[in-house]
Amino acid sequence: MVSLIGFGCKYEKKEDIEPTVKEPRIYKHDDELLASGKTIGGDNCYVIGSKSLSTTPRIIPSIYAVGIHYQIQFETLGKRDDGYFIFRTETSELHFDVYSIESGEKIKTIDVKTILQEECPELQVAALYFGEDVYQGKPCMKFAIGKHPDSFEDGLEDIHQDAYLDVDTEELFIVERSDQSMQLSMRQETAIFQDFNHNLFKLNGIEGVSVGPTYWEDCCMVSMPITSLPRENKRLYMLFPNLKEELEAIKQRGWSNEDEVPYILICLTDYPTSEDIISLFLTDGQEISFEGMKISKYSSADGKEHDIHSFEEYRQYMKTYELIDESELYPIFRSE
pLDDT band of 152, cuts 50, 70, 90: confident
**Residue 149, Cβ neighbours under 10 Å: how many?**
20
Q: Taking the alpha carbons of 294, 297, 299, 303 in that order, is the dihedral positive or negative?
A: positive
Whose CA is closest to 154, among 86, 81, 82? 86
**Mean pLDDT computed over every residue of the chain:** 87
- pLDDT value of position 2: 47
Q: Give the integer Cα–Cα distance in Å for 301 and 175.
A: 39
Q: What is 84-105 written as a DSSP string?
A: PEEEEEEEEEEEEEEEETTT--
- pLDDT value of position 240: 98
Q: Give the integer Cα–Cα distance in Å for 278 and 262.
A: 20
Which element (helix H / strand E) includes 238?
helix 234-239
**Type of residue at 187:** R
Q: Taking the alpha carbons of 46, 49, 54, 58 in that order, is the dihedral positive or negative?
A: negative
What are the residues facing 264 on neighbouring strands? 48, 224
Q: What is 142-179 written as a DSSP string?
A: EEEEEE--SSTTGGGS---EEEEEETTT--EEEEE---
Burial class (CB in 10 A: 0-12, 13-18, 19+), 132: buried
Q: Greater confidence, 62 or 154?
A: 62
Q: Give the integer Cα–Cα distance in Å for 194 and 185.
A: 15
What are the residues facing 26 on neighbouring strands? 73
Average pLDDT over residues 140-146: 94
187: left (phi over 0), alpha (psi -120 to 50) or beta: alpha
- pLDDT value of position 21: 54
Average pLDDT over residues 137-159: 82
Whose CA is closest to 163, among 183, 139, 181, 146? 146
For residue 8, pLDDT over 70 is answered with no
For residue 13, pLDDT over 70 is answered with no
- pLDDT value of position 119: 95
- The model carries a pTM of 0.89
Let me know how long the chain is: 336
Average pLDDT over residues 299-311: 92
Whose CA is closest to 133, among 284, 318, 320, 331? 331
Residues 43-89 pLDDT 10s:
999 999 988 888 899 999 999 999 999 999 999 888 878 777 888 89
Task: Report cis status (omega within 30 of 0) of the bond before 62.
Answer: yes
Which element (helix H / strand E) includes 202?
helix 200-203
Residues 100-117 pLDDT 10s:
999 999 999 999 999 999
For residue 308, pLDDT over 50 is answered with yes
Maximal CA-CA distance, the chain: 67
Residues 208-260 pLDDT 10s:
999 988 889 989 999 999 999 999 999 999 999 999 999 999 999 999 888 88
pLDDT band of 296, cuts 50, 70, 90: confident
pLDDT band of 180, cuts 50, 70, 90: low
Q: What is 19-78 written as a DSSP string?
A: ------EEEEEE--EEEEEE-TTS--EEEEESSSGGGSPEEETTTEEEEEEEEEEEEEEE
For residue 292, pLDDT over 70 is answered with yes
